[in-house]
């Protein structure tokens, strides 16, 4: 009965087992930084909620996960699970039993899970207050050996048991109120082959360049594929969540890196990623802080990297979006830019400001230690890039472009005049005018402007960036800083987005040696430690959420670019000698 595994094996402790389009996964992660002993069916509708606990009938069972099949085994006993579409899981067992139990033992009028036997088709249905969904267990072969807690109220064990002494197969479905009885007409082996074909097609589309030099490419692709959900609730489009662990949202800058990574091979999905937060712009043009199934948060914003991202995205799309799509994007980007120009500039000031480190995406960076309301150079630089992108879009659409170019020049000049100290940028309090320095990598992020910086400034920033390099990559706070914390979020650990932005800017500024070094170190880090939210800068250990999509996307972005340079460089050297690096926008 065993199905040959497909794709790379991965640790279920780090990466959940899921399927493109599904809102649930199988994982031991049941809350933020909380790991259960057993695997759970965890739904992300209305938040992260462990609904069903899956416990094999024998202790000491080993779990093997691949993109296609999840397997528990103990000696000759096996349990295998495969998805039958986004909302259904098929599970079968041979010489190994399984208990499917409500994760919450207590049922109240407002929380918990209820279990009943459905007289229509004989299935057993768990209903969850937390997700507002039902979870139907249908026996396809064999029989239940035991049922506990059906129709029980209050505190009780609610479970169904499958036997260990005869083969069995079940389906578990997540749905709303009612649906036809589950037919199970497709054989288990066929489902495995179909999932294998789907995942292989996805990998071939987004990473056709992969090879021995990029050993983590397939697993990076799986992290993206498995974290994708179908439109539901406030998620207006097919969306790649940041994770199907506790970071199960789309934040309004994280999505840009996923869009870029997907663009060449999955252009429609990539375009949806870029546009999704813009579906929730408010009346001022501001993007939300984050979007997920049941909430849209506007208490913070995120940095305006969207002009930078749109340029990279369009370079990678196989075909340009049609005029209507570009016109809509131009309007959305203009409104988002207008928010910063109109709502985030103090009277008489040329530079916009953040209200909190969260607005920058670098929540607790040392830049914000003394004051949170600050004019910072990273914000100015991102806005300059976005204004130049708007000018190009306006020209393409036959709209006036001068206002955007003039505003870009104005902010560019103010950034250098008001924040540059000759070696690095300093932040300024918009109320008092007081400037302060920090050692955060955030103060060096204007390097993302690349060739749009004066050469001496770019060179000074490159020198500053090198002081942040560890064996594994760019520490967000230098390891010799008094404020460095190994697991300090933005006060030390290595992050994917800062790595990509810095690498790209350095390359476009002609600082290719450092850019190459940063790229190599980050790729090696992911190949060693996976796709964590961030990494210990000194040990390379993955930290926080261990299955983060923007990290996987950043690996794919940098790996694809490195592979292209290898191929181009080899061809160029064969013809003329050493290859010249590209400095134009799009150096990734």
Q: What is the pLDDT along the chain (588 residues), one digit of tens a residue?
A: 455 545 799 999 999 999 999 999 999 999 999 999 999 999 999 999 999 999 999 999 999 999 999 999 999 999 999 999 999 999 999 999 999 999 999 999 999 999 999 999 999 999 999 999 999 999 999 999 999 999 999 999 999 999 999 999 999 999 999 999 999 889 999 999 999 999 999 999 999 999 999 999 999 999 999 999 999 999 999 999 999 999 999 999 999 999 999 999 999 999 999 999 999 999 999 999 999 999 999 999 999 999 999 999 999 999 999 999 999 999 999 999 999 999 999 999 999 999 999 999 999 999 999 999 999 999 999 999 999 999 999 999 999 999 999 999 999 999 999 999 988 899 999 999 999 999 999 999 999 999 999 999 999 999 999 999 999 999 999 999 999 999 999 999 999 999 999 999 999 999 999 999 999 999 999 999 999 999 999 999 999 999 999 999 999 999 999 999 998 875 554 444 333 333 333 445
Are the C-beta atoms of 399 and 392 separated by less than 8 Å?
no
Alpha carbon of residue 188 to chain centroid: 31
Phi, psi of 334 (to 5 degrees): -65, -40
pLDDT of residue 3: 53
Residue of 131, 130, 102 lying closest to 116 (CA atoms): 102
Residues 10, 5: Cα–Cα separation, whole Å: 11
Residues 495, 460: Cα–Cα separation, whole Å: 22
Residues 98, 161: Cα–Cα separation, whole Å: 6
Are the C-beta atoms of 437 and 419 separated by less than 8 Å?
no
Residues 475, 81: Cα–Cα separation, whole Å: 40
Reported in sequence order, the residue ranges of 48-97 that DSSP labels E, i.e. its strands, are 49-56, 62-65, 70-74, 77-83, 88-94
Residue with tokens 């929730």: 280
pLDDT of residue 481: 97
Q: Is 354 helix (H, G, I), strand (E, B) or coil?
A: strand
pTM for the whole structure:
0.95
Residues 501, 312: Cα–Cα separation, whole Å: 11
Are the C-beta atoms of 547 and 245 separated by less than 8 Å?
yes
What is residue 10's DSSP assignment?
B
Q: Give 445's contacts (C-beta < 8 A, 6+ positions apart).
A: 377, 378, 381, 498, 501, 502
Instruction: At 454, list the tokens.
Output: 């004066």
pLDDT of residue 230: 98
Instruction: At 545, list the tokens.
Output: 């959420």
């Amino acid at each position: 009965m065993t199905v040959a595994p497909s794709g790379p094996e991965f640790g279920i402790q780090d990466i959940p087992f899921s399927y493109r389009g599904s809102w649930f996964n199988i994982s031991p992660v049941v809350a933020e930084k909380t790991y259960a002993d057993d695997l759970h069916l965890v739904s992300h509708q209305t938040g992260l909620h462990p609904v069903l606990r899956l416990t094999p009938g024998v202790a000491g069972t080993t779990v093997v996960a691949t993109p296609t099949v999840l397997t528990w085994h103990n000696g000759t006993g096996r349990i295998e699970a495969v998805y039958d579409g986004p909302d259904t899981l098929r599970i079968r067992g041979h010489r190994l039993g399984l208990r499917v139990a409500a994760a919450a033992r207590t049922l109240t009028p407002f929380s918990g899970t209820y279990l009943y036997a459905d007289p229509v088709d004989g299935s057993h249905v768990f209903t969850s207050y937390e997700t507002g969904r039902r979870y139907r267990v249908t026996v396809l072969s064999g029989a239940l050996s035991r049922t506990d807690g059906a129709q029980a109220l209050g505190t009780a064990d609610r479970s169904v048991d499958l036997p260990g002494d005869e083969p069995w197969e079940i389906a578990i479905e997540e749905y709303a109120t009612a649906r036809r009885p589950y037919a199970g007409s497709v054989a288990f082996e066929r489902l495995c082959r179909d999932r294998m074909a789907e995942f292989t097609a996805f990998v071939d589309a987004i990473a056709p360049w992969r090879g021995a030099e990029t050993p983590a490419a397939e697993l990076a692709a799986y992290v993206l594929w498995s974290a994708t959900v179908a439109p539901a609730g406030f998620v207006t489009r097919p969306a790649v969540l940041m994770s199907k662990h506790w970071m199960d949202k789309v934040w309004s800058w994280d999505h840009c890196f996923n869009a870029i990574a997907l663009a060449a091979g999955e252009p429609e999905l990539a375009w949806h990623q870029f546009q999704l937060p813009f579906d929730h712009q408010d009346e001022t043009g501001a993007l939300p802080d984050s979007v997920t199934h049941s909430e849209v948060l506007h208490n913070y914003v995120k940095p305006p990297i969207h002009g930078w991202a749109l340029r990279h995205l369009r370079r990678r799309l196989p075909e340009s979006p049609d005029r209507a799509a570009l016109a809509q994007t131009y309007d959305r980007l203009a409104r988002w830019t207008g928010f910063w120009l109109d709502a985030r500039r103090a009277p008489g000031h040329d530079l916009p400001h953040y209200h909190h480190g969260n607005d920058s995406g670098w929540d607790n960076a040392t830049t914000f230690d003394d004051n949170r309301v600050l004019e910072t150079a990273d914000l100015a630089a991102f806005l300059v890039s976005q204004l130049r992108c708007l000018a190009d879009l306006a020209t393409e659409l036959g709209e006036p472009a001068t206002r955007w170019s003039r505003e870009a020049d104005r902010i560019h000049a103010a950034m250098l005049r008001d924040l540059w100290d000759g070696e690095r940028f300093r932040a300024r309090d918009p109320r008092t005018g007081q400037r302060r320095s920090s050692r955060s990598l955030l103060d060096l992020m204007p390097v993302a402007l690349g060739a749009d910086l004066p050469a001496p400034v770019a060179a000074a920033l490159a020198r500053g960036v090198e002081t942040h390099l560890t064996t594994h990559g760019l520490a967000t706070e230098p390891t010799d800083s008094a404020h460095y914390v190994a697991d300090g979020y933005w006060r030390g650990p290595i992050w994917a987005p800062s790595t990509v932005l810095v690498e790209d800017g350095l390359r476009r500024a002609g600082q290719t040696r450092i850019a190459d070094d940063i790229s190599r170190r980050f790729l090696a880090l992911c190949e060693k430690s996976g796709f964590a939210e961030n990494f210990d800068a000194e040990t390379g250990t993955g930290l926080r959420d261990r299955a983060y999509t923007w990290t996987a996307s950043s690996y794919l972005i940098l790996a694809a670019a490195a592979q292209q340079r290898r191929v181009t460089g080899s061809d160029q050297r064969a013809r003329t000698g050493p290859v010249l690096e590209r400095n134009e926008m799009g150096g990734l």
